[in-house]
A and B are shown apart, each in its own frame.
Chain A
Amino acid sequence: MLPRTWKRLQLLWRALSGRSTLEREMDEELRFHLENRAADLARSGMPPAEAARRARIEFGAVEGYKEGCREARGLRPFDELRSDLRYAFRVLRTSPSFTLTAVATLALGIGANTAIFSALKGVLLNQLPYRDPNQLVKLGEADAGEKRAETIGYTTAYDLRRLSHSFASMSLYRDAAGAIVERGEPELVGGLRVNYDFFDTLGIRMQIGRGFLPEEDRPDRRHEVVLSHGLWMRRYGGDPNIVGRVIRLSDSSFTVVGVLPAGFRTLEIPGAPSTSELFEPLGYALTEPWACRDCQHLQLIARMKPGVAAAQAQAELNTIMAGLVRQYPASYPPQAKVAFEPLREHIVGRVTTALWVLMGAVGLVLLIACVNVANLMLARATGRAKEMALRAALGAARWRLIRQLLTESLLLAMAGGLAGVLLGWWCTSGLAALAPREMPRLNEIRIDGTVLWLALAASLITGMLFGLMPALRTSGADPNGALKDLGKATDSHSRRSLRNLLVMGELALAFVLAVGAGLLGKSLLRLINVDPGFDPHNVLTLKTYLYSARYQKPEAELSYDEQAFARLRATPGIESVAMTSSLPLRDSDRYGFHVRDHRLAHPSEAPSADHYSVSSDYFRVMRIPLKRGRVFNAQDIATAPKVAVISETCAREQFPNQDPIGKQIQLGGRDDSKPWITIVGIVGDVRQYGLDTTPNIAAYIPQAQNMAFVFTLVARTSTDPRGLERAARAAFLAVDPTQPVFQVQPMESYLASSLAQRRFTLALLALFGGMAVALAAVGIYGVVSCAVTSRTRELGIRMALGAERRDVLAMVLRQAAALAATGLAAGLVASVALTRFLSTLLFEVRTTDLATMAAIAGLLAAVALSASYLPAQRAASVDPTVALRYE
């Protein structure tokens, strides 16, 4: 059996690869037969000419037997395919404008799909680059039923690890940073402090060296460091002997124990720099004060044991948590649970909707492109009805004609697909470059085999989609009728109504897309008009990081700031300067908010307030309005009575129907033995977490009364803050060149990046909506102008009978308007059904926003009418004498 199959394959290969060789050999073989026969006959005394004739007669119909041979080889389908292809090529070449239009339309559709799918796949569908990533979950403490797994306290995590059985390992981590001064400008390098088994939990092997040992993950140690591949190359020149080397980070010495592979992707932490480049042991113990149950500031990832179901693991954790809540009621709110998220969802969850919406949108664009090409083919079918009728009359089977037409459409689709992939290739790199940095896994977006397969599949399916219906229509024409109409371009009623239907569908789809873009656009406009609570224009920000031991004393740090301030104030263009521990739209720093007169049953029920430690000019620089009382001044020094300023929302929520000024509060843990802070003023709310997030309660403390080592400069400038970046950096480095300053950026860039994701989604959806509308316009133009052409004679008669130019114009436009109105009505219904998928992407706009729908409907109606105006005008300017003779 096997050799026979092999033989067949060989023959098939020979047949396909060397088709002409095979034909030649067959000719030679038959000629050999005829000549030998003729020679034998001549030898028996027949004259040569007669012998040759006789041999041919005896042989029979040579061409028929050749066909029999080909069929015997099982090659006929291939022969037919070859001839179909050759014919299709010829047909397409003879009408280059049709071919170009169709290929370009398809290329747009397939290219956009390729690009968006490559993003979708890279971000959402591809596995995370860790070992068995589906076993990885992100855990967090959920105090108020939140789904998202954020932070957890050390002791809570310790108990979860100790009491659970579903997990192979659990690792804590938090953000870390170290200043590298050796070789070159001081640089603050972001990183993570991790449990010793962190890399094992992820399943990452070091490129060189090793990970951490259990004994290195203790408070009294923390002398080892693991470097990222990038940092190793950048700062240490890829030194192969780096392992064992001692490097200085901030003010301490660390021994490098390992270097991560280049492909390692770090876990992102909200608020931390997106690339972590150095890793130190976490070094926590239960005895540390910051290990307490309420001290929720650590991140926890866990790897489930193989075979453990997520629901089972989650249930186990919640049982354990319920026990902890009972045991330590002072430390947990009564309803505390464990937030449990698959790691993949945690990382990409927030862009899932946007990406699927975009994928749906490009899918619709491709559908519209298909409809357009189908329409073009139907229009052409009118002109080819005669050809088809002729072929049918000559005996071509119907399925043979369908196959021929499908070959043409598939050829078109493949050409479109090829151009589309090239376009998509270009778009994908553009997409990756234009996408906001806030987009997770951006650097993993690329065109790969799967994407190419999808493009191929999309091409084939579109080819079938737009080819099948016209093929069925065209081939089904009655040969009698078509041949009788010899020389006349026929356009049957049913074909016209099919084309009208297609155009209506196209308009409806375009309407849905445009409405989606409109809703997102309106949301963005609403959002841009939201008052952030401060004035972000002409503000320069710069982050400082005082790690050196000589800045341990608050006075030293304050004097560092003051010296820099003096230089900055002397810089032309800088009007005023201030420091803050927490910058709006970038940082997040929450403390428990305790009111002296208001004792809670459990301290853990205290609300958490955004906390800012600011220098006295902060409100003036940021233009945060003072509502009541006073802001800080130069007298609010470390030794002065402790004061605070709170936000309006804080005043309203925490002191209802009272005057908050003069009330006393504490931030962090409540401790009646410690001094209380007196509220002296109320300022406006600030949108700390983004324009779309309602403000939380906030409390401000004078910098002198609450020192930290990371402060951000805010400087109000009179000119473009970008021009002052160098001067601002220099002012700090002049005070102390060993302390790093970084993230020198205008405040507006934070505002821009908080909107970047929305802008990106909107830009793409608007692009696709625009493509859809343009394609629909082309479709309408095509249908109307075709209808006008086929009615030239009728229009001529009308005009000969006295119809005015504008009557004809109005008649054509009226029909186009009817078409558009039906299409838009269908689109309205479809958009009501579809826009609800957008709901999470919208801001203060309902998914059924009437104003948007009406505006889009108006826009599309205008586009439809202008697309029909050209052909209508052509119709109206017909010369009756010419039109009557028109065939």
Chain B
Amino acid sequence: MSNQAELLPGTLDLLILKAVSLGALHGYGVLLRIEQISGGALTIEQGALYPALYRLEGQGLLDSEWGSSENNRRAKFYRLTPAGRKRLRAETESWNRLVLAIATALGAKTQEV
């Protein structure tokens, strides 16, 4: 448990978009997919997922549809809209820039200053 990282504020939306970009998912599926693709390194407050999903849907980044789950139950599936795909790309780029900048900053040695 100790090797799990707390989520940075604002990154939940990005993770949801990424998870859903790999294929339509229901809410619980989003949770599992994030755990899976992060190698179980990130913990997510399970309940917090839903307000985020509703917000993203309200912003038109996600679309939802009722379908049946792998165990044949009715479930609400979310998929990425074109707007969502564009947003994911932009957010990913800015995230990478941020990570690079932080990493560069943290890797600085005294003589380079």
A residues near B (Cβ < 8 Å) are: 3-4, 7-8, 11, 25-26, 28-30, 32-33, 36-37, 58-62, 64-66, 68-69, 71-74
The answer to whether A29 and B46 touch (CB under 8 A), given A71-B51, A72-B51, A72-B55, is no
C-alpha spacing A33/B74, complex, angstroms:
11
* Chain B min CB distance to A72 (Å): 4
Cross-chain contact A29 with B48 (CB below 8 angstroms)? no
CB nearest neighbor in B for A28? B74
C-alpha spacing A37/B49, complex, angstroms:
14
A sample of 16 inter-chain contacts (CB < 8 A) reads A26-B50, A29-B26, A29-B75, A32-B26, A32-B27, A32-B75, A33-B27, A33-B50, A36-B71, A58-B46, A59-B47, A60-B47, A65-B51, A68-B48, A72-B51, A72-B55
Chain A contacts for B69, CB-based, 8 A: 32, 36
B residues near A (Cβ < 8 Å) are: 26-28, 31, 45-48, 50-52, 54-55, 57-60, 66, 69, 71, 73-76, 83
C-alpha spacing A96/B71, complex, angstroms:
55
Chain A contacts for B60, CB-based, 8 A: 3-4, 7-8
C-alpha spacing A59/B46, complex, angstroms:
5
The answer to whether A4 and B83 touch (CB under 8 A), given A11-B58, A65-B50, A72-B51, is yes
Chain B contacts for A71, CB-based, 8 A: 51
Cross-chain contact A29 with B58 (CB below 8 angstroms)? no
- In-complex Cβ contact of B45 among A37, A60, A69, A73 (8 A): A60
CB nearest neighbor in B for A33? B28
CB nearest neighbor in B for A37? B28
Cross-chain contact A69 with B75 (CB below 8 angstroms)? no
Chain B contacts for A60, CB-based, 8 A: 45-48
CB nearest neighbor in B for A29? B76
Cross-chain contact B51 with A68 (CB below 8 angstroms)? yes
Chain B contacts for A28, CB-based, 8 A: 74, 76
C-alpha spacing A7/B57, complex, angstroms:
9
The answer to whether A62 and B47 touch (CB under 8 A), given A32-B69, A74-B58, is yes
C-alpha spacing A216/B79, complex, angstroms:
81
C-alpha spacing A74/B76, complex, angstroms:
20
10 closest pairs, A vs B, by CB? Answer: A68-B51, A4-B60, A60-B47, A65-B47, A72-B54, A72-B55, A69-B54, A33-B28, A59-B46, A36-B28
List 9 additional contacts besides A11-B57, A33-B31; criterion CB under 8 Å.
A8-B58, A28-B74, A29-B26, A32-B28, A33-B46, A33-B50, A60-B48, A71-B51, A72-B52
Interface centre among B31, B50, B69, B71 (most CB of A within 10 A): B50
* Chain B min CB distance to A62 (Å): 7
* Chain B min CB distance to A61 (Å): 7
Chain B contacts for A32, CB-based, 8 A: 26-28, 69, 73-76
Interface centre among A7, A29, A37, A74 (most CB of B within 10 A): A29
Chain B contacts for A8, CB-based, 8 A: 58, 60
Cross-chain contact A4 with B59 (CB below 8 angstroms)? yes
CB nearest neighbor in A for B44? A58
Chain A contacts for B31, CB-based, 8 A: 33
Chain B contacts for A37, CB-based, 8 A: 28, 46
- In-complex Cβ contact of B51 among A3, A7, A36, A69 (8 A): A69
* Chain B min CB distance to A823 (Å): 55
Chain A contacts for B26, CB-based, 8 A: 29, 32
CB nearest neighbor in A for B43? A58
* Chain A min CB distance to B43 (Å): 10
Chain B contacts for A58, CB-based, 8 A: 46
Interface centre among B52, B60, B75 (most CB of A within 10 A): B60
Chain B contacts for A59, CB-based, 8 A: 46-47
* Chain A min CB distance to B70 (Å): 10
CB nearest neighbor in B for A35? B73
- In-complex Cβ contact of B50 among A3, A29, A74 (8 A): A29
C-alpha spacing A68/B31, complex, angstroms:
18
Chain A contacts for B71, CB-based, 8 A: 36
Chain A contacts for B52, CB-based, 8 A: 72
C-alpha spacing A66/B27, complex, angstroms:
14
C-alpha spacing A147/B75, complex, angstroms:
82
